[in-house]
Amino acid sequence: MKFKLLLAFSFWMLLVAVSCNKDDITFDSPAQSLRFSRDTVFCDTVYHQVRSETYVVKVYNNEDKDILIPRVNLEKGAASLYRINVDGKPGYDFQNVPLRKKDSLYIFVEIAPQATGPEAIAEDKVLFTSPAGQQHVTLFSVVQDAEFFIQTPGNPNVITSSTTWNNNKAKIIYGNLTINPNVTLDINAGTKVYFHKNSGMKVSSGAVLNINGTQTDQVILRGDRNDPSYDTVPKNWNSIRMEANSTLNMNHARLFGGTRGLDMRQTNATITNSFIHTFFEYGIYAVGSTVNANNLVMNNCGLSCIGIFLGGKHSYTHATIANYSKTMSSFDRTGIFAANEWKNDAGQTQQGALQLLDIKNSIVYSDRDDAVHFEQTPGQQFEFLLQNSLIKYTSATGAGFTFDNNPRVVQTTKNTDPQFVNYFMAKMNLRVKSTSPAIGKGNTAVAATVPFDIVNVSRTTNPTLGAYQ
């Protein structure tokens, strides 16, 4: 009995102690303006009825008192395309929002809009109303209408007849999209093709992929995460896999952000006026293929911008092939790698003749010791020509060939910085400065075969090496 009385007494004493020490909180009206972590929330490009990722705005109370914000609301109210969550509560209009002194609260923002055309702008404001005045954070997003290609167990996601994609809708690919044998897919100017994580495209044997961009309306092929922070991140999607005897014609395209860009197996490819960058392994992975490229710009690929295996025929004219990366600094990151050998999917090693590798009026440079690396198999044909180009080369041991006094190296300069305007991926301006040693070093006869640079500037006189005049 005594024990029970003692226990009851202790409980009531504890309750009294807690009550006496309770911090009674009183909230006042704000006397000062609030501070925000950002004044504009730019949501990445979103697609019809697809919810965006969630963005965060922090609201700070700089005052030495606890405040009560009278109202936080979306300017367009329930009609807004946006939805917000204020300190854990979803909605569009909030009254008397408490905020402790020197503290902050989170506002989460997302959008799942209805498209009103091929491309539109969605705008709204988060309003903060108090005696200190009205403040706001602007919400902004580009909204695209989209067509979805989704692979499921019941839908193999196959294009079975010749098809044309136009820029009226973005194309969103989930899983693998296959172009059947002997079928042509034309992708017209201004079309945007987005690949979801672990997704890609397969161009079957005998099929044709025509990417028909223009200087003013490029065709964009990238991952479906459109926030600018993902522009310089690789491995957001897989690759465009070109099977044996398939054909690629690509003009004015920008391809970036995957594991491999063009994964070609005995493919015939013509690439002009295009950008290929930011791939985890290779921008171009060519096995026993024929590739003709001019006005090509490449950068930021983990193993090599161009990987040539099992020989083939290759010509790169007025190409700017750089390989600089902060995110993949521990990788090989060569500009061009070429070998007679290739290990197939079964692990078997095969060999093929490199019948042609011409690099003319081009720049192949990086922050590695050697931007060009050849692995020649004794007894196999390995034909190459470096003509009127500027390359990074330090040793025959590292590059796999001798530079000096080599008849296959003609009027080519080694280890002279091309002086790119900005080679880092956030800017990627691979034009050269006015003091660049690449200016005026091109062969005029070679330049005449590609008379205009990647932005349509004439280069028939005093041609500059690389894709830009």
Buried (b) or exposed (e) across 98-132, using 16+ Cβ within 10 A? Answer: ebeeeebbebebbbebebeebbeebebbbebebeb
Nearest to 360 by CA among 286, 282, 294: 294
- 276-287 pLDDT, tens digit per residue, is 999 999 999 999
> Which residues share a beta bridge with 385?
358
Nearest to 259 by CA among 225, 297, 302: 302
> Which residues share a beta bridge with 342?
350
State how far the Cα of 363 lies from the Cα of 464, in Å rounded to an integer. Answer: 10
Q: Is the distance from CB of 322 to CB of 352 less than 8 angstroms?
A: no
Write down the CATH number for the domain with range 35-143: 2.60.40.10
Name the amino acid, one letter, at 8: A
Domain residue spans of the chain = 35-143, 147-415
State how far the Cα of 71 lies from the Cα of 405, in Å rounded to an integer. Answer: 78
**What's the pLDDT at 208?**
98
> Which two three-digit tokens encode residue 10?
């202790």
Q: What is the CA radius of gyration of the chain?
A: 29
CB atoms within 10 A of CB 158: 15
pTM for the structure as a whole: 0.83
How far, rounded to the nearest angstrom, does the alpha carbon of residue 269 sit from its chain's CA centroid? 22
**What's the pLDDT at 22?**
40
Map 16-84 to HEC letters.
HHHHHCCCCCCCECCCCCCEECCCEEEEEEEECCCCCCCEEEEEECCCCCCEEEEEEEECCHHHCCEEE
| Tokens 């911090």 -> residue | 23
Q: Helix, strand, coil: what percent of the chain each, to 5?
A: 10, 50, 45
By three-state DSSP, how is residue 35 classified?
strand
Concatenate the DSSP letters of all residues of 370-415 into one string. Answer: -SEEEEPPTTS-B--EEES-EE----HHHHSS--TT-TTEES-EES
State how far the Cα of 3 lies from the Cα of 446, in Å rounded to an integer. Answer: 103
> Which two three-digit tokens encode residue 95?
């009254």
Q: Which residues of the chain have pLDDT under 50?
A: 16-23
